[in-house]
Amino acid sequence: MKLYINDLSINITGNNKNKAVIFVHGFPYNHKMWDKQIEYFNKIYECISYDVRGLGASEVGDGQYTMEKYAEDLFSIIDKLKLETPILCGLSMGGYLSYRAIEINQSAFNSVIFCDTKAQSDSDEIKLIRANKIKQINDAGLDLFIDEFLPTCFSTNYKFNCVEKYNEIKSLCKANNPIGVKGALIAMLSRTDSTHFLSKIKIPTLHLCGEFDTLTPPVLMEETASKISNSQFSIVPNSGHMSPIENPDFVNKTIENFIISNN
């Protein structure tokens, strides 16, 4: 089923008698990055994936987004669909959103799966890189930005051995409205830091990180997980920053075991 809530394009499949899992994609992708997870989990769980405001099929509006607005969007989906303590699963930017959402109200969630993400806000250096990327999109268009950014997200193995799929993902990213992409860059660079909150997280958390992830490396994610009382950390073999796409079998099995052991 496909529906719109507050300008957001939402996809729902699976069994609504069972626990809901909400998948929040990374930047600058859309809900389709979770295809392999949804195909696997909708046999048992209710799977909800949506396009973050400004990306994919969700409304672009004025392009003025904040992480706070993204979190508000997530809570409005939970409220409108009357979901009872869903499991939250976010990758990278979706993970930043997830950290902010549980900081606002962790009791709204059963547990959280963090894929290839971090709790830290952007350093000044990264803020300036993002400012330059916005300028680049304005001056040279979105395609060049995607051509330069996407290779940093995937492992060499994936880029060379899964060319067709990689090119499909590239086209999907290029199909975004540049205003939405720039809005996401501003939301990320202006987000707050969640590291002070790690010791206060009480719900179960799973932290998955691609072995070759250079954007949010395993050492950083492992250190973050160690600061959370109820946490599990796993390295995803043969994968870069996009572990759910690059090694779906490992990711799905690990998530499945985590959900079963916490329900």
Does the footprint of ligand MLT cover residue 93 (CB under 6 A)?
yes
Instruction: Give the C-alpha separation, 199 to 196, whole Å.
Output: 7
Within residues 240-259, the interface with ligand MLT by CB under 6 A covers 241
CA torsion 218-256-242-190 (nearest 10°) is -80
8/115 with CB nearer ligand MLT? 115
Instruction: Give the C-alpha separation, 111 to 101, whole Å.
Output: 12
**Do residues 38 and 76 make contact, with C-beta atoms less than 8 angstroms apart?**
no
The pairing of beta strand 2-5 with beta strand 8-14: antiparallel
Instruction: Give the C-alpha separation, 125 to 160, whole Å.
Output: 30
**What Rg, from alpha-carbon coordinates, does the chain have?**
17
Does the footprint of ligand MLT cover residue 97 (CB under 6 A)?
no
When binding is defined by CB under 6 A, the residue of 12, 14, 27, 31 that contacts ligand MLT is 27
When binding is defined by CB under 6 A, the residue of 14, 26, 183, 204 that contacts ligand MLT is 26
Contact string (CB under 6 A) for ligand MLT, positions 215-234, x = contact: x-------------------
Does the footprint of ligand MLT cover residue 205 (CB under 6 A)?
no
Instruction: Give the C-alpha separation, 115 to 210, whole Å.
Output: 8
When binding is defined by CB under 6 A, the residue of 78, 102, 188, 236 that contacts ligand MLT is 188
186/215 with CB nearer ligand MLT? 215
Least distance CB 17 / ligand MLT (angstroms): 32
19/182 with CB nearer ligand MLT? 182
Least distance CB 34 / ligand MLT (angstroms): 13
Query: φ, ψ for residue 213 (rounded to 5)?
Result: -70, 115
8/91 with CB nearer ligand MLT? 91
**Separation of first and last alpha carbons in the chain:** 26
Query: Which token pair is 178?
Result: 């540049």
Does the footprint of ligand MLT cover residue 176 (CB under 6 A)?
no
Q: Residues interacting with ligand MLT, by CB under 6 A?
A: 26-27, 92-93, 153, 188, 215, 241
